[in-house]
């Protein structure tokens, strides 16, 4: 991953790499990149941002223990990253966070991330093509999720055409007090890649070897957007054109 041309560029001639893990949870994504960079001899700072303060506390504990560096944490709305008044070289967004952002909120999130990255900064975003699953498997109104200690029902409730989101209720059959509503947007890789291109000068895609799971890599935040800037195709489209089989 660090050999990718976008990441290799930000590592050139630098001793310190500043990482921010957005929607971090306990910080697994930030931990992996920090570990890889530390092993290569770089100094690293790691900042975790998530609205769940309990997850951040867990992240500080285990990352400090494992890496010997104590992450800085901020329990804030990730669309407000500019309030940190800091800049970073690398932003990481790993896991299943994107469904919680409808297109309007995603615009705010990407603007927020682009605004705190340096000129050649990079965003690494792991994503599942959820629209692929709908096309190939159909949209399920009721899902049954069975774990070791509990079973939950995930039930469709409503659709919001202005947000493009599906409202679902998750019912814990063992403990009704844990029932919760979720409003989700089912992103495709194409839609996310296109949005990233509006906020970053170049966007690429990496395959993980797992069907429908990809890593989008964006670099060089745009200050402004003009039609002329969008005439040059991003790397991701060139890569798709070169392939004999679809992604």
Mean pLDDT by 10 residues, the chain (247 residues): 92 95 96 96 97 96 96 95 95 93 94 95 93 84 84 92 93 86 93 95 91 92 81 82 57
Q: Which CATH number fits domain 5-128+187-242: 3.90.105.10, 3.30.70.3450, 1.20.1600.10, 3.40.50.150?
A: 3.40.50.150
Domain-wise residue ranges, the chain? 5-128+187-242, 132-184
**CB distance 49 to 22 below 8 Å:** yes
pTM of the prediction?
A: 0.89
Question: What does the pLDDT read at residue 244?
Answer: 53
Token reading at 1: 């991953």
Question: What does the pLDDT read at residue 210?
Answer: 85
**CB distance 164 to 103 below 8 Å:** yes
Mark 80-102 as b/e (b = at least 16 C-beta within 10 Å).
ebeebeeebbbbbbbeebbbbbb
Question: What does the pLDDT read at residue 30?
Answer: 97
E-assigned strands of the chain? Answer: 16-22, 43-49, 72-74, 88-93, 117-128, 142-146, 151-160, 165-172, 180-184, 200-207, 213-221
**CB distance 112 to 79 below 8 Å:** yes
**CB distance 115 to 81 below 8 Å:** yes
């Amino acid at each position: 991953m660090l050999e990718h041309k976008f990441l290799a560029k930000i590592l050139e001639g630098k001793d310190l790499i500043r990482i921010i893990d957005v929607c971090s949870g306990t910080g697994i994504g930030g931990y992996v990149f920090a570990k890889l960079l530390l092993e290569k001899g770089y100094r690293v700072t790691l900042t975790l941002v998530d609205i769940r303060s309990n997850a951040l506390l867990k992240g500080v504990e285990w990352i400090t223990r494992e890496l010997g560096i104590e992450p800085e944490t901020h329990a804030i709305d990730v669309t407000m990253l500019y309030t940190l008044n800091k800049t970073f070289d690398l932003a990481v967004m790993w896991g299943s966070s994107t469904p919680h952002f409808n297109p309007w909120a995603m615009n705010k999130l990407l603007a927020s991330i682009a605004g705190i990255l340096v000129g050649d900064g990079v965003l690494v975003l792991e994503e599942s093509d959820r629209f692929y699953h709908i096309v190939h498997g159909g949209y399920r109104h009721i899902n049954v999720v069975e774990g070791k200690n509990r079973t939950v029902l995930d039930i469709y409730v409503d659709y919001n055409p202005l947000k493009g989101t599906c409202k679902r209720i998750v019912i814990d059959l063992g403990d009704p007090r844990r029932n919760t509503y979720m409003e989700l947007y089912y992103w495709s890789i194409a839609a996310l890649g296109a949005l990233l291109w509006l906020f970053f000068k170049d966007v690429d895609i990496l395959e993980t070897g797992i069907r429908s799971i990809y890593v989008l890599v964006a670099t060089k935040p745009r200050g402004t957007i003009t039609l002329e800037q969008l005439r040059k195709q991003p790397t991701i489209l060139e890569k798709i054109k070169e392939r004999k089989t679809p992604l």
